[in-house]
Structure 1
Amino acid sequence: MGSERQDRMKALGARLRGLRTEAGLTGAVLAQRAGVGQPTVSKVETGRMVPSVDVLGRLSRALDLDESTTQEVCDLLVAVEAAPNAVESSSAEAPVGSSLDEVVRSARLVRSFQCVVLPAMLQSAEYARHVFDSAPGATPEGVGRAVAARVERQSLLYEPGRESVFVLTEGVLRTWPGSPALMLAQLDRLLAVESLSTVRLGVIPWRQAVPVMPRHGFTLCDRTAVVVETFRGEHVVDDSAEVAAYEDAFSRFEEAATFGSDVRELLLRVMKDFRDLGGPATR
């Protein structure tokens, strides 16, 4: 990231931090009022994250800013976005997940369909490490940062007022990196997440025909954007016709999926298969 852009991000963050202090609010209280994660407030205020227009609007309203001050912080955001990047990100940095991170953090409804790899929001740290390690040009430092960011983002699953819907094919549960032990830990995490009131987890069993031949996985953020992850990075699509097409596809996958107790039973069966693969050490 170029120094000019970095300086402008810090200026925006410092101004928001000052306004929060003047309002007598802690970062946690501001985050709650704005309906965003506390890490989002921290990263914006320290110049480590560029807020979306939606997030900045939520923060401005939570701070009860007057019209002129609201325009001031909006202008600061425009200045950040207009600043040139002195150093472009390399392919090794592509997996960091910044695009997905920003749009997911500002969304209240996240819907993800995956046919090969687990959704980013459900991945354990070790599973995510294998995902990022497989990216072209991956470096240990880049992978470490990417894993940390992905795990930190998952705190959004627990926030009241958010809804997350995940639909997987059974093939996702049986496409595994590392070892059976890694997958046992990962499947145990899925069981825990499935029980959350803010999450719906569905699986299309292999005995069930898919309604549409899946070409790739995707994540819908509210009804305004869709994120597609590739080997080299992420693509955010906000064209309304494209988003509508992905919404239609997701609805069809969701209708074909099983939820609730059926999913828990399926996860337990898959766990048994991984125990059988791993032998006595994983029992």
Structure 2
Amino acid sequence: MADRVLKDLGDVLRIARKNDRCSGAVLASRAGVTQPTVSRVENGQRVSGVEAVERLIAALPFSQEEAGRLTLMARGAYALAAEDKRVDAGVSLVPGAGRKLLTSASVVCGFQDAMVPALLRIPEYVSVDAGDLGSSADLGKALADEGKTFRLVVTESSLRTWPGSGEFMPAQLEHLLAVAQLPNVSLGVIPWGVGLPVMPPHGFTVCDEAGVLVETFTAEMTLTGLKHVTAYREAFDALEAVAVTGEDFRRVVERVASDIQQIIQ
């Protein structure tokens, strides 16, 4: 019920914005929210709180009566969502739960700042740590499914650190460049010198609205529930906004590859 209301509300806001000849970036500036927040609201997705939706309504040229109706509509939907308690909401350490969540998701958003993400690791990278084989060895095959969308962000630092000798890193970086060309993959890097808008203490992967995967040193946690998913999704949106893609991504990766070649020769 709440999801249907949010979808209808998002459609109304999108139409109003377009009729006002207003871009998402301009509306975000007017309302004092981020551009990814505008996109999520217009697509009927939940954000951290109803206040952001109220700001968007107030920033559009609705009549006072219509703005009031839409505001009540938004508050009602968020109240319903808060009451929609899931029996599995919380933290799970069940082995394999994260893999199942990832392989069933249609949209996967991942961030890593200390290593190459599991989805992007070549076998040589994986095999350096035998304990990693079960979690990463076959995940990369999921990228070939064009019915799924992958939005992945890494920091330049994650490309400049590696397990073992690093002899495989040139091949690993070539693999990243190849993956970035896939039609269903958006791969970005946050270069050195760019400040992070948020500072996650660990890498994470958001799977649709269903849950978040977090790898720790000893276990893989699966976080479910609106609070967790929304917080991590908004963190990802903010990090993706400062990442570079396309040719800029290629230039960063090639610069890293050149530096690594000098180290491992």
Interval containing the TM-score (normalised by the shorter chain): 0.5 to 0.7
1:212 aligned to which of 198, 203, 225 = 198
Give 1:268's aligned residue. 254
Does the 8 Å contact 2:113/2:154 carry over to 1? yes
Q: Letter of the aligned partner of 1:219 in structure 2?
A: T
Task: Give CA deviations for 1:170-202 in whole Å, capped at 9, x if unaligned.
Answer: 110001122242111111111111111111100
Change beyond 3 A, Cα 1:97–1:197: farther
- The answer to whether the Cα contact below 8 Å between 1:180 and 1:277 also exists between their aligned partners in 2 is no
Q: 1:173 to 1:242 in 2, by over 3 A?
A: same
Deviation at 1:153, TM superposition (A): 2.5
- Out of 99, 109, 119, which is 1:101 matched to? 99
Give the Å deviation of 1:124.
1.2
In structure 1, the partner of 2:156 is 170
Q: Displacement, 1:147? A: 2.0
Aligned equivalent of 1:161: 147
Distance 2:165 2:243 in 1: 27
The offset of 1:97, in angstroms, is 6.5
Residue 100 of structure 1 deviates from its aligned partner by 2.3
Please list the CA deviations of residues 86-131 of structure 1 after superposition, one character each: whole Å capped at 9, or x if unmatched: xxxxxxxx9x97232111110010000111011110011121233x
Equivalent in the alignment of 2:231: 245
> 173, 177, 183: which is aligned to 1:191?
177
CA distance in 1, matches of 2:256, 2:153: 16
SS in 2 for 1:191: helix
Specify whether residues 239 and 191 from structure 1 end up closer, same or farther in structure 2 by C-alpha distance, changes over 3 A only: same
Residue 230 and residue 148 in structure 1: after superposition, are their counterparts in 2 closer, same or farther (change >3 A)? closer
Alpha carbons 1:124, 1:189 under 8 Å: kept: yes
Assess if the C-alpha contact under 8 Å between 1:180 and 1:275 holds in 2. no
- 1:157 is displaced (CA, Å) by 0.3
Listed as ranges, the matches of 1:53-202 within 5 Å are 98-130=96-128, 132-133=129-130, 143=131, 147=133, 150-202=136-188
Q: Amino acid of the residue matched to residue 263 of structure 1? A: F
Do the aligned residues in 1 keep the contact of 2:112 with 2:154 (CA within 8 Å)? yes
Partner SS state of residue 150, structure 2 = strand
CA distance in 2, matches of 1:148, 1:227: 15
The CA RMSD measured in Å over matched residues stands at: 1.8
Cα distance in 1 for residues equivalent to 2:95 and 2:258: 32
Q: TM-score, normalized by length of structure 2? A: 0.62
Q: Which amino acid aligns with 2:233?
A: E
How many correspondences in the alignment? 173
TM-score of the superposition, structure 1-length normalised?
A: 0.58
Q: How far apart, in 2, do the equivalents of 1:203 and 1:97 lie? A: 30
Match of 1:47 in 2: none
Give unpaired runs (5+ residues) of structure 1: 1-93, 134-142
Percent same amino acid at aligned positions? 39
Partner of 2:136: helix, strand, or coil?
A: helix
Cα deviations by residue, 1:41-90 (Å, 9 ceiling, x for unpaired)? xxxxxxxxxxxxxxxxxxxxxxxxxxxxxxxxxxxxxxxxxxxxxxxxxx
Give the corresponding residue for 2:217: 231
Structure 2 alignment gaps of length 5 or more: 1-92
